Amino acid sequence: MGLDLDKLVADAELCVRCGLCTSVCPTYQIFRSEIQGPRGRVLLYADYAQGLVPESEAKLVLEAAYDCLDCRACQSVCPNGVKPGEAALDARVALQGGRPKDRLTALALSFFYSPLLIDLANVLIVLYQRSGLQRWVRRSRLFERLGLVKLAFAESLLPERVAPALRLFGPKKLAPEGEKRGRVAFFLGCVMNLVFSEASRATVEVIRAVGYEVVIPRETTCCGAPHIEEGDLEGFERLAMRNIDHYADIDADFIVTDCAACAAELKKYARHFRNDPEYREKAERVSKRVRLFSEFLEQAGLPENIRFPFPTTHQHACHACHAQGVKEAPELILDRVADFAPLAGSTDCCGSAGVYNLTHTETSMRILEKKMARVAETGAEVLTVENPGCLLQLGLGARRFGPRVEVKHLSQVVWEGFRQATDERI
């Protein structure tokens, strides 16, 4: 599989070198280097596609593609519609032949093919925490002493309490509260189910509370986001087709997810399979019904008496605001249910970016420290976001840099507001 010459050259020709993209690019803001900015990367991909970069330096092109966080802030501000974030993914796919770049990555990505493995991993994490082993590992700094620096960092991302997986212990169907307004199929995200099942339970309860029946299909597999972000086109398509086969004809008005990355990929299915005679129509039937939680809730509406009692601010997940254009909904919701404190730079990436915080830890932490300083300026006691990678990253930020805000999924704040209203009625 070669680089899409026409597409990459067309992007470079559209770029007028205005520099707006560099004003919002996290890596350019740190390194002040063209190759660490969207403009430079787009031109590099195009040069390589036209044979202007020697094959011996192809590795440098791939490194530049992976240095990009794929936050797509550049795409939100580009006046000419250049898409450097998408170009980075295209470059990864093309330069790797549509497969994982190495065996370790392939092994890690294989984990997402099996819902059973994700559920098993959840059980192991719960046992690891509740047995007291996690406290001992962290106090003793065991992984650092063994030289397992990346594993130590990954472990530090875990929240203090992980609940049992929703797929394993949650119901398959829930009746709506009050008069039925419709039916929702809830898409179980991988990391949400693995680490943040309590947030997903809150999501489901809120959907019920606004009058929708909820079904939770166990057949759901990974949306494919981790695979396409690592250049594994074959893995992405394999997972996407499995989800399309299941969700295309599911009896539901909406397919709702509380993971911004999942929503972005599910919505992209229609575009990805637009030339596939077998999957084109089925992919369209899936994509057009997909809603991110806040997007669905803003459309469904909230009762007037919902109130969350703590000052709250919100970080926009890049896969929500830049990849989907979902920005107003969560802020409008929080403005209704809580004392909402706007966050300066709320659409700037927090540095999680898939596994960027593992592969580029130092840069990621510099981005995160700046983000947490801005959170401190709001005076909020609670910080919300709609993506599991962001929840992990911001939770670490609160523990490592402060302020000691509670990091929650937006649905948890809304559900707590519903519960407060119920208690007041009683």
Predicted confidence band at 424 (pLDDT cuts at 50, 70, 90)? low
Percentage of residues of the chain with pLDDT beyond 70: 97
pTM: 0.95
d(CA 43, CA 51) in angstroms, rounded, equals 12
d(CA 261, CA 263) in angstroms, rounded, equals 5
Angle at 289 between CA 284 and CA 293, to 5 degrees: 140
**Does the pLDDT value for residue 1 go beyond 50?**
no
Phi-psi label, residue 400: left if phi above 0, alpha if psi -120 to 50, beta otherwise: alpha
pLDDT score of 374: 98
Domain 304-425, CATH among 2.40.50, 2.70.98, 3.30.70, 3.40.50: 3.40.50
**Does the pLDDT value for residue 5 go beyond 80?**
no
Query: What is the domain partition of the chain in residue ranges?
Result: 5-95, 304-425
Bond into 309 cis (ω within 30): no
pLDDT score of 420: 85
Q: Measuring CA to CA, which residue among 26, 171, 5, 176 is closest to residue 91?
A: 5
pLDDT score of 322: 97
**Does the pLDDT value for residue 2 go beyond 80?**
no
d(CA 339, CA 108) in angstroms, rounded, equals 41
Q: What is the pLDDT of residues 194-232, one digit of tens each?
A: 999 999 999 999 999 999 999 999 989 999 999 999 999
Q: What is the pLDDT of residues 62-97, one digit of tens each?
A: 999 999 999 999 999 999 999 999 999 999 998 999
- End-to-end Cα, the chain, rounded Å: 64
Residue 356 CA, chain-centre distance (Å), reads 12
**Does the pLDDT value for residue 261 go beyond 70?**
yes
Would you say the C-alpha torsion 155, 159, 161, 166 has a positive or negative sign?
Answer: negative
Is it true that domain 5-95 has CATH number 3.40.630.30?
no
Q: What is the mean pLDDT of the chain?
A: 94
